[in-house]
């Protein structure tokens, strides 16, 4: 029995790590909060579905990224564990890219990889832009925050909600200073927020259950990030 427990221990430890959420399906709208239903637990996904936007085909594709021209790329799909490598490959092929447009961004299939990707974008000093009709949701909001400059047209939309682990525990189920919550506060600080701003932004996003989504306009986002 002891050998069986020892064999299962790494698997049980992996399950205890926060996987940051679940894939979800659109159900109904109540004011600014969209109620959604969990359909399947993933290893580390966080999504908010919406009506699909018209996405550019670009001149080259690298995972969820499309190269628009020598200076601009677009994010047109959910990110996953392969996205940091796809981003790096895109920049090796097109080193002049300085702007990332977030066009149709439902979230991420791997929140840990998504934060790594965000740090890569930030370290590159790229600007982030959401065009008119662009939709930035769930884990993709973390990527918008990475920009050295942030811009968003009036018709852009954003959606936020709490992360959740594979056991259904959300941010509010952990102490505020738990490593699971600190990971996001540290990330927001790295993206340029002050400590109070990071705490306030995290509290706003985590006030909405993972089974719901709070929709924000460009004007709403101005409360949280400077928009040029």
pLDDT (tens digit per residue) in 164-199: 887 889 999 999 999 999 999 999 999 999 999 999
Question: Which pLDDT does position 194 carry in this prediction?
Answer: 97
Tell me the CATH class for 53-161+213-221: alpha beta
C-alpha closest to that of 121 among 104, 142, 136, 93:
142
Residue 151 exposed, middle or buried by CB count within 10 Å (0-12, 13-18, 19+): middle
**What pLDDT, in 10s, does the model give residues 40-75?**
323 346 667 666 667 888 999 999 999 999 999 999
216 phi/psi in degrees, rounded to 5: -125, 145
Distance CA 77, CA 143 (A): 12
The CA distance from 56 to 67, in Å, is 9
Largest pairwise CA distance in the chain? 62
- Give 86-128 pLDDT, tens digit per residue: 999 999 999 999 999 999 999 999 999 999 999 999 999 999 9
Angstrom CA distances, 164 to 133, 171, 176, 194, 210, stand at: 28, 7, 14, 25, 6
**pTM of the predicted model as reported, rounded to 2 decimal places:** 0.79
- Specify the higher pLDDT residue, 49 or 17: 49
And the tokens for 195? 């400590």
What would the mean pLDDT of 16-26 be, rounded to a whole number?
Answer: 36
Mean pLDDT along residues 141-149: 98
pLDDT at 165: 81
pLDDT at 32 over 50: no
Contact at 8 Å (CB) between 126 and 148? yes
**pLDDT at 2 > cutoff 50:** no
What the block records as the tokens of 162 is 């709490």
Domain boundaries, given as residue ranges, for the chain? 53-161+213-221
Number of Cβ atoms within 10 Å of the Cβ of 81: 16
């Amino acid at each position: 029995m002891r050998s069986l427990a020892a064999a299962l221990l790494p698997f049980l430890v992996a399950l205890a790590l926060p996987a940051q959420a679940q894939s979800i399906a659109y159900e109904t709208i109540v004011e600014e909060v969209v109620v959604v239903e969990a359909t399947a637990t993933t290893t580390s996904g966080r999504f908010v579905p919406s009506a699909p936007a018209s996405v550019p085909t670009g001149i080259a594709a690298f995972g969820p990224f499309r190269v628009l021209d020598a200076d601009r790329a677009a994010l047109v799909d959910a990110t996953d564990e392969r996205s940091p490598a796809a981003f790096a490959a895109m920049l090796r092929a097109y080193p002049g890219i300085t702007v990332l447009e977030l066009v149709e961004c439902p979230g991420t299939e791997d929140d840990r990889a998504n934060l790594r990707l965000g740090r890569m974008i930030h370290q590159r000093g790229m600007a982030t832009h959401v065009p008119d009709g662009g939709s930035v949701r769930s884990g993709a909001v973390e990527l918008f925050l990475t920009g050295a400059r942030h811009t968003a047209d009036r018709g852009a939309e954003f959606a936020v909600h709490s992360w959740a682990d594979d056991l259904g525990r959300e941010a509010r189920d952990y102490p505020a200073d738990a490593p699971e919550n600190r990971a996001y506060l540290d990330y927001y600080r790295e993206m340029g927020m002050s400590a109070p701003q990071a705490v306030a932004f995290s509290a706003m996003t985590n006030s909405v259950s993972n089974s719901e989504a709070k929709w924000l306009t460009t004007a709403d986002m101005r409360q949280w990030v400077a928009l040029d």
